Structure 1
Amino acid sequence: MVGAHKKLPLWAEAGLLPALNLLAAFLVSGLVIWGLGEDPFLALSLLIDGAFGFQEAIGYTFYYATNFVFTGLAVSVAYHAGLFNIGGEGQAMLGGLGLTLAVFLVGDTSPLLAVLCAIIGAAAFGAAWAFIPAWLQARRGSHIVITTIMFNFIASALLAYLLVGPLQRPGGQMPESADFPDGVGLMHAHDLFAAVGFEFEQSPLNVSALIALVCAFAVWFMLTRTRFGYELRVAGKNHAAARFAGIPVARMTIVAMMLSGALAGMMGLNEILGEQLRLIGNFTLGYGFVGIAVAFMGRNHPIGIMLAAILFGALYQGGAELAFEMPSITRDLIVMIQGLVILFAGAMEHLFRDPIERLFMRFQSREAV
């Protein structure tokens, strides 16, 4: 199969195959909607309009997409190093904890300093939570998939303990921390547009979307334009060849996972520092797991990951509008549609590869004649 990947041009590999997978997912979803007695074309129209039809919807779509960019990039960096990081959920939880502690530590001193420390805290705590599974694999041979899954549960339990104990809002009954000090938070998109003279409807979209874009560019530059990125990819492709070339595979494993954890930890910037302005339980909402599908659908390329993140953001926002407009299409059915997209774009990403390759080979043979 490795050789088969070289037979298709880039536009077919990164564009045509994901488009066919997405079309198959929507086709199956349409059949289910039709079976419920609803018009699948009307449902698709409502979904698209609910995701991109007005400014508030666009804001929500890109707000959700920002989470998926962070978690998708996290999966991608680890994947290029030959690692499968399923711990994005736990690393995001610890990132949220790190930024919250940073805000409470310096929030009363300076809002700007608190935001900067929060960004550093989110990345640092996410990286630290990824370090332990990475070290266990690099030094003790523990499987990264097993350890990262286990650490998701540990992170969830730790966060639950802190939010009903030491960090719980004074006098509160909910698993949440006290509110951040006034002025500590990321600027929303509508405020940013207003500052430059443009009007944009209010939505949760905030400056963390720009931070996600910077991270995507940084990941691309690191992987394709630096010696470290080259060594990381070599170590991910072949450990024996990497060792022969003098690349420290164990160290590369640890560093790659820490970078992955840092990216996942920064997801909290969008949810907590951009919108909630307090630490709440279960704020990750499965974004870490969806990031796996986003990375695979985007072929682990930063541009592809951003496009896939927008798609899943549209499914989240447009799906909510669709469920509101068509009562017979429940929220559970929207989750099923999202699952079908994950199934076809992730687990079954090579479903159409063989027929497309045969088609390309036929055209090439005709051109040769």
Structure 2
Amino acid sequence: MTHPSIQSFVTRSSLDRRRCKRARHAFTLVELLVVIAIIGVMVGLLLPAVQSAREAARRMSCSNNLKQVGLALHMYHNTYKQMPTASTTAEITEQRPPSWLVKILPFMEQSAAWDRTTFNGTDFASRNDGINRNWETYNGLIVPSFNCPSSPLPQSRFDDASPETVALGAPETLEIQIPNYVGVAGDYNERKSQWNGYAGMSDYNGVIVALDNGNHEPVKFASILDGTSHTLAVGEQSDFVRVRPPGQTEPEFYDQRAGNWFGGAWSGGGGGPNNGPEGYRMNVASTRVGINYSPTNRFLDPYGIGPYWYGRPGNHTIFNSTHGGGAQFLKSDGSVEFISENIRFEIFSLLSNREDRKVIEQF
């Protein structure tokens, strides 16, 4: 027979064990705070990795977009035996010509838009003095391959339709795509370049060039004398230009893409002679400054890389990107390469010139 005191001790011990067991199911405040802190550290470690993975995916998508453009350029050349022209001279000022991006639409799975496009008696710039007979086709049209998924810039702009265009049934405001990819018109102030008092220097030694009174020869693969694998055809403009005024600690940000004006992606520019006010070109740029260049003045640093006083982009707008450390470029052979912003400017200029006869093996 168990002694009553021993029995009481055993009972109390069992109760204490059960109470301790129940108590272990709950966290103390200190333990809870430690767990929260550990989770916070893990999230802090994982978040940059997740962001980096997402950017890598977006950069790959951007590269694929440029490859699609490159394939379209090659198909265009196979069909017409020349590269698409950036612009052509317009006989009537108010009938501004289409861009090179319009011309490759049927090779970008946009045959429906191409088939509905008219080229007679229309203004592709959608300015208030012309008639945009293609408003129904291009209003709201977004070609995904013309925009970089990493870009913080808007994909479209809103242009006021002219009264004549509204009379055709158009709304008063048209949504027009702005691309992140621009044709490389050449190397600033080299052979075939001509001064334009309204737009800086008109360059014709690149791959995507205008046909006007300064140049009468379309570009063919045979005229890319440096070789298609050593000549840039299309470059990226997917980030804000960071302007750093003297004495100002914080930069100013501007959207200075070559396609950010009336007509957006679909306008080839004014279409006038290269030495007149309507002799401006859109959706192309030549190399006057380096990749991701930060000017000290929005308009004249140097002349032609930014907008003019009424907003039109210059002939030498800046190639840039949000990918970090450089920008992506399509070569004339259809390959895509990321070029560092630290590349020697002389080499960058040579790569944009199709006929300097200097082959760059490494850069």
Class of the TM-score when normalised by the shorter of the 2 chains: under 0.3
The structure carrying a bigger helix percent of its residues is: 1
Structure index of larger Rg: 2
The structure carrying a bigger strand percent of its residues is: 2
Q: TM-score, normalised by structure 2?
A: 0.27
Structure with the larger RCO, 1 or 2 (CA within 8 Å, 6+ apart)? 1
Q: TM-score, normalised by structure 1?
A: 0.27
